[in-house]
Amino acid sequence: MKTLPICAALATAMLASLPIAAQPIPTDAELSALYSDLEPVYVDLHRHPELSLHETRTAALLAARLRAMGFDVTERVGKTGVVGVLKNGPGKTVMLRTELDALPLEEKTGLADASRERTKNDDGVDVPVMHACGHDVHMTVWLGAATVLSRARERWSGTLVVIGQPAEERGMGAKAMLADGLFTRFPRPEAVIALHDIPTLPSGTVGYTSGPALSSADSVDLVIYGKGGHGAHPETTVDPIVIAARTILALQTLVSRENNPLDPAIVTVGSIHGGTKHNIISDQVKLQLTVRAFREEVRQRLLAGIARIAKAEAEAAGAPKAPEVKIVDVTSSVTVNDPPLTARVAATLRRALGDDRVREIPPEMASEDFSEFGLAGVPSVMFRLGATEPRRFEQAQASGESLPSLHSPFFAPDRKPTIETGIRAETAVLLDLLKKP
C-alpha cells in the first residue's frame, strides 16, 4: 500500500523528464482532475436541458466558461449559438463543434441526477425535456478539450474556433449560424471536427466512418382530409382514418418496390392523429413522417412518391380535398466525412488511445445538420464516442439484448470513461491539426 504514492511520484517525475512534445496531453492525472472539475457541469447541463432555439441558459453557461479560459466569445449567433475564438500565433484555423439542445422527452433512467424539467414548446404545449441524445456529454467534452488547449498553448499554433450550435435536433442550427456569418464574421476554418456518443460502442472506445456516414433526413407533415360524421352512418362520410391507413401501407412500397434494395432508404410514419371520440368520424388526420436516404436522387424520389401516393389514395376514396404535404425541420444532406481528413483523424486517435480502442464502423441512417459545414466547403469529420459500460455492452452482445438507443428515455451514458475518452480524443485531434510548423 505504501508503494503507491512512490509509484505515482515516480511516474510524475518520468513524465516531467520527457521532452514537452513527448508528454501526453492531458496526462492521466490532469485528465482526472479535469473530469472532477467538469462533472458538476455535466450534471447541471443534464438536469437543466433546453429545447431547440431556447438554449439560453445552456449558452450562457458555456460562454462564461470560455471567457474564463481567455476565448473571445460572441453569443446569440444563429439566435442562441455561441462562438469562441482563441488565437495563438500563426497557423491553421480549426473549428470544434458541439450541440446545445435537448429533446421533448420524459427521462426514465431513475438516476439521482435525472432531468425533471418541463417547459412549453413552440406550440405552447407543456412537455418534458431530456438530454436523450448525449448533447450534455458533447458539451462537457467540448469544454474539456477547450480547457486543455487554453492551458497548453506552447504545444500548438494557429486559431481555435469553438462553437456551441443550437437546434441540431430540428436540423436548423447549423444553417442558422452559417446564415448569421459563422464563416465570415469569424475566422473561416480549414477543418471542422465534432463527435457524437453512441450506445453501440463500449465506453473508452471511439469509432469513425470515412465518406458518407449519416443519412439525409426530411420531416414531412401530411394532412389527409375527409368528410366527418356519425360513426353509425359511415355511408354519409369520407373517412380520413381509412384513407390514412391505406396511405401508410402504400408508402411502404416506396422502399420495398420502388427503390433498389442495395440503396438505403427509409420512410417511417412516426405519428398519426385523428378523431376525438369513439362514434365520430373525423374530417382530417395528421401524420408525421421521417424520410432517410444516402443519395439525393433517392431522397427526391421518396419525397415525390409520398405526395403522389397520398394524393392518389385521397382521390380513390373520393376525398373532398387534396391532402397537404409539407416538409419541415429539414436536414437536407448526407453527412460526408472528408476521406483525407478522416484518415488523419483516425491515425491520430489510434496514437492517442491505442489501436484496440479505435474502430472503423459502418454508416447509419441517423442524421445530423453537421452536414452543412461540409456543404459550405470546409472539410469536416464527425467521429463516434462509445457510451455503454463495457460489461453491459458485452452482455448485450452475447444475449442479443437491445440497449437503450439515443432518443430513448432510458439512455444513460457511462459518464466518467465516456467523457474522459472524449476529451482525450478531441484534444489529440485538435493538437495534431494545429501542430506547430
pLDDT (tens place) for every residue of the chain, 437 residues total? 333 333 434 344 444 444 444 567 899 999 999 999 999 999 999 999 999 999 999 999 999 999 999 999 999 999 999 999 999 999 999 999 999 999 999 999 999 999 999 999 999 999 999 999 999 999 999 999 999 999 999 999 999 999 999 999 999 999 999 999 999 999 999 999 999 999 999 999 999 999 999 999 999 999 999 999 999 999 999 999 999 999 999 999 999 999 999 999 999 999 999 999 999 999 999 999 999 999 989 999 999 999 999 999 999 999 999 999 999 876 678 999 999 999 999 999 999 999 999 999 999 999 999 999 999 999 999 999 999 999 999 999 999 999 999 999 999 999 999 999 999 999 999 999 999 98
pLDDT at 50: 98
pLDDT at 3: 36
pLDDT at 330: 66
Q: Quick: pLDDT tens for 54-109.
A: 999 999 999 999 999 999 999 999 999 999 999 999 999 999 999 999 999 999 99
pLDDT at 437: 82
pLDDT at 8: 39
Q: Is 126 buried (19+), middle (13-18) or exposed (0-12) by CB count in 10 A?
A: exposed
Whether this model's pTM surpasses 0.85: yes
pLDDT at 328: 87
Residue 364, C-alpha cell as written in the block = 447509419
Q: Cβ distance 421 to 385 under 8 Å?
A: yes
- Residue 400's CB is within 10 A of a number of other CB atoms, namely 6
pLDDT at 9: 42
pLDDT at 318: 97
Give the span between the Cα atoms of 175 and 433, in whole angstroms. 25
pLDDT at 14: 40
Which residue is it, cell 505515482?
Answer: 8
Give the span between the Cα atoms of 146 and 182, in whole angstroms. 19
Q: Cβ distance 219 to 329 under 8 Å?
A: yes
pLDDT at 190: 98
Structural domains for the chain: 23-215+334-433 (3.40.630.10), 216-331 (3.30.70.360)
Give the span between the Cα atoms of 425 and 206, in whole angstroms. 8
Residues in the chain: 437
